[in-house]
Amino acid sequence: MSLSPVEGVALAEIESDPDASAPAAKGVVGRSPGQLAWLRLRRDRTAKVSGVLLIFFMLLALAAPLIEMVYGIGPREQFQNLLDGFGMPLGYAGGVTGDHWFGLEPGLGRDIFIRLIYGLRTSLFIAFAAALITATIGVVLGALAGYLGGWFDAVINWITDLTLAMPFLIIALALTPTVTLRFYGERGQVSAAFGVGVLIAVFAIFGWTSTARLVRGQVIALREREFVEAAKASGAGLAHMLFRQLLPNIWAPILVSFSLAVPQFITSEAALSFIGVGLSDETPSFGRMIYDSLDFLQTDPAYVFFPGIMIFALVFAFNLFGDALRDALDPKSSR
């Protein structure tokens, strides 16, 4: 699958060093590789700034109902009285006022700020859930494929190639309505939670292969090491082998790939909403807002810019943090 072109790069960069066990710090205090990475991360200015920004975004998303209470406007409230005869918001920059910080949507007259806050919530939830699920499936299947080899490895490899050859956007586009139809029939009222669930499932089906590929490569590099042989000789079972012996050695690249997968899923969710699948208009979402706003590009550019800049800031922060994390976890990193 290729959710976004970044993926390949991320993989290529992550896979650089399989056994990134940092040399023990000289001196009196011994530090674990994890502690060393944490120290490096804390010293990195980019990591600090992007980390704070991410926490801020997550807090915004978590506190959406609270913000709604303080702000006093709901995501579905309409302010038709603030629109002119053509449905365009009155005032400057798309109707930005003290009451409506980011202005109003043309047509329905809903408040953009509170819709963005709820859109953030939708986006982050979907992205984190999809990243968690794909990481879990990918780690288990990738580790099994790498460790067992043989036919299992061949099958997993082949499925990976297959998903790469399928055009993700078109398949997702075609599959989502079909699945929805199957569950709801022609006229059923689709609940928002179901739409979110279908999206996460589609991401999970297509997304696990990249993690599986990464983990498989790492496991193959470790498979012939002495410690694996030693564990095998002392009679370790398969689960112990995978999760107690192998996994602790490769958590660093997995963590990095997880942190870079989240922005990818945010982007993909927006892209899917943008081409009109995924979430219904009821659920606020970034892609959906941009798609709706393109019709007003000439008449109300502010409507395009607020969601566009918001999603850029979010993905940018994630990418910066992912980069910093990779540098911190890589003992060979020169930065």
Interacting residues of 132 by C-beta distance below 8 A, sequence separation 6+? none
Q: Looking at beta carbons only, is 95 or 307 nearer to other proteins?
A: 307
Cβ distance to other proteins smaller for residue 97 or 280:
280
Distance CA 329, CA 308 (A): 32
Closest alpha carbon to 325 in 59, 8, 10: 10
**Shortest distance, position 177 Cβ to other proteins, whole Å:** 7
The three-state (H, E, C) secondary structure of 176-202, written as one string: HHHHHHHHHCCCCCCCHHHHHHHHHHH
Does position 13 interact with other proteins (CB under 8 A)? The reply is yes
Which residue type does 242 have? Answer: L
Among 171, 221, 231, 247, which residue sits at the site for other proteins (rule: CB under 8 A)? 171
Torsion of CA 305, 308, 314, 320, to 10 degrees: -100
Integer Cα distance of 119 and 101 in angstroms: 16
Residue 151 CB, nearest approach to other proteins (Å): 15
The binder of other proteins chosen from 85, 150, 151, 182 (CB under 8 A): 182
Answer yes or no whether residue 108 interacts with other proteins by CB under 8 A. Answer: no
Q: Is 276 one of the binding residues for other proteins (CB under 8 A)?
A: yes
Number of residues that bind other proteins (CB under 8 A): 49
The residue within the footprint of other proteins, chosen from 71, 125, 194, 291 (CB under 8 A), is 291
Neighbours of 7 (CB within 10 A): 17
What residue type is assigned to position 163 of the chain? Answer: T
Closest CA to 218 of 325, 146, 153: 146
Output the CA–CA distances (angstroms, integers) from residue 304 to 106, 255, 286, in the order listed: 11, 34, 10
Q: Which of 24, 55, 155, 174 binds other proteins (CB under 8 A)?
A: 174
- DSSP assigned state of 107: T
- Does residue number 106 form part of the binding site for other proteins (CB under 8 A)? no
CB of 245 or CB of 293, closer to other proteins = 293
User: Can you read off the two tokens belonging to residue 157?
Assistant: 């490899």
Q: Which is nearer to other proteins, 80 or 333 (CB)?
A: 333
Query: At closest approach, how far in Å is the CB of 76 from other proteins?
Result: 24
Contact region with other proteins (CB under 8 A), list: 34-42, 60-68, 128-136, 164-172? 164-172
The CA-atom distances, in angstroms, between 94 and each of 113, 119, 284, 296 are 12, 19, 18, 10
| 34, 177, 188, 248: residue in contact with other proteins (rule CB under 8 A) | 177
The angle subtended at Cα 150 by Cα 144 and Cα 155, nearest 5°, is 70
Rule CB under 8 A: is residue 96 a binding residue for other proteins?
no
Q: How far apart are alpha carbons 15 and 2 in whole angstroms?
A: 17
Asked if 45 touches other proteins (CB under 8 A), the answer is no
- Considering only 181, 192, 230, 238, the residue that binds other proteins (CB under 8 A) is 181
What part of residues 295-334 is at the interface with other proteins (CB under 8 A)?
Answer: 297-298, 301, 304, 308, 311-312, 315-316, 319-320, 323
What angle is formed at CA 43 by the lines to CA 41 and CA 48, rounded to 5 degrees? 65
- The span of 71-79, 123-131, 235-243, 294-302 binding other proteins (CB under 8 A) equals 294-302
Nearer to other proteins, 25 or 181 (CB): 181
CB nearer to other proteins: give 82 or 159.
159
Q: Where on the chain is the footprint of other proteins (CB under 8 A)?
A: 2, 5-6, 8-9, 12-13, 158, 161-162, 164-167, 169-171, 173-175, 177-178, 181-182, 263, 267, 270-271, 274-277, 287, 290-291, 293-294, 297-298, 301, 304, 308, 311-312, 315-316, 319-320, 323
